[in-house]
Chains A and B, each alone.
Chain A
Amino acid sequence: MERIIKIKLRTKAISSSLFFISFFLLQACRVSLVPTYDAALQTQIENAAKMTDKLYLEMMNAPTAEKNYALYSKSYLDIEVEINSILMKNEIRSNAGDIVASVKTLKTYFEQAKKDHADRQTLSNAEFLIYNEQLKALWKPVLLEEIALSKVK
């Protein structure tokens, strides 16, 4: 009889211990599919998108003789530096594969638009307009990705 009571007590102790252990394991077990939100990065993305829009609006508003690439090469470079910085910050984050892909697409497109302007020296307002609209469309997913991260609870 005494032995049965001992076994029952031991079984109860083991099950309680397992319950405790599973509780602490549960606490450590949080699903993590995306990187942590970075408010400073969101601001950087917003500013770089604004710089891009400003550059294209300036080029569109300039007289034909002042649309030459050389006049805007510094602005192009400044934006490129920002895109590279945003890309690097995302490359070192964990679970940021989708964001890195979006920034890389933006980077490739921006380089291509810059090269087109540099090769042809000047572009028409219609061409600047389309480049600006497509660049805005490529900045938007990058910004929305960061905004989405702010919704993690």
Chain B
Amino acid sequence: MKFDLDEVLANMLGAAKDSLKDNWEFAKGTAVDFLQSRKERIDLLTSLRLSNQLSEKFFLARLQDEKKIFTSELHALAVITKVMAQNAANAAFTVLEKAVAAALGIK
């Protein structure tokens, strides 16, 4: 029954890192997309207000709504982050499981 804890821990860390790398682009792309869309909406909102197509009251109310949109986007980023954390933790556990199974001679 051979079980090298240092080696297993290093492999677990490696598996977690690879998993985080896989999901990083999705998280980054989503955050950039949220920021870009916000910029475009605020540009549109401002230009419609400046050209008097929106009342002051409507403009200010929709500007307040941008805060709600931002909060919702943060929730989405939280879900993405949780998925990344879950994948990383489970990838590390899989390595540990395999190492223990190998030490016990279980296939």
Contacts and interface: CB of A to CB of B under 8 A. Distances in A.
Contacts of A129: 44, 48
A144 B79 CA distance: 9
With a 10 A CB-CB cut-off, give which of A31, A32, A137 has the most chain B CB atoms. A137
Q: How large is the interface on A (under 10, 10 to 19, 20 to 34, 35 or more residues)?
A: 35 or more
Interface stretch (A65-73, A77-85, A97-105): A97-105
B76 A148 contact: yes
Nearest to A108: B68
B65 A109 contact: yes
Of the four ranges (under 10, 10 to 19, 20 to 34, 35 or more), the interface on chain B belongs to 35 or more
Given A148-B26, A148-B79, A19 B97 contact: no
A28 B38 CA distance: 43
A145 B74 CA distance: 11
Contact of A27 (B30, B62, B97): B97
A99 B44 contact: no
B9 interface: no
Contacts, number: 122
A19 B104 contact: yes
Interface of B: 1, 19, 23, 26, 30, 34, 37-38, 41, 44-45, 48, 53-54, 58, 62, 65-66, 68-69, 71-73, 75-76, 78-80, 82-83, 85-87, 89-91, 93, 96-97, 100-101, 103-104, 106
Interface of A: 16, 19-20, 22-23, 26-27, 29-34, 95, 98-99, 101-102, 105-106, 108-109, 124, 126-127, 129-130, 133-134, 137-138, 140-142, 144-145, 148-149, 151-153
List 7 tightest A-B contacts by C-beta distance, closest first.
Answer: A141-B76, A126-B53, A31-B89, A98-B75, A33-B82, A145-B79, A141-B72
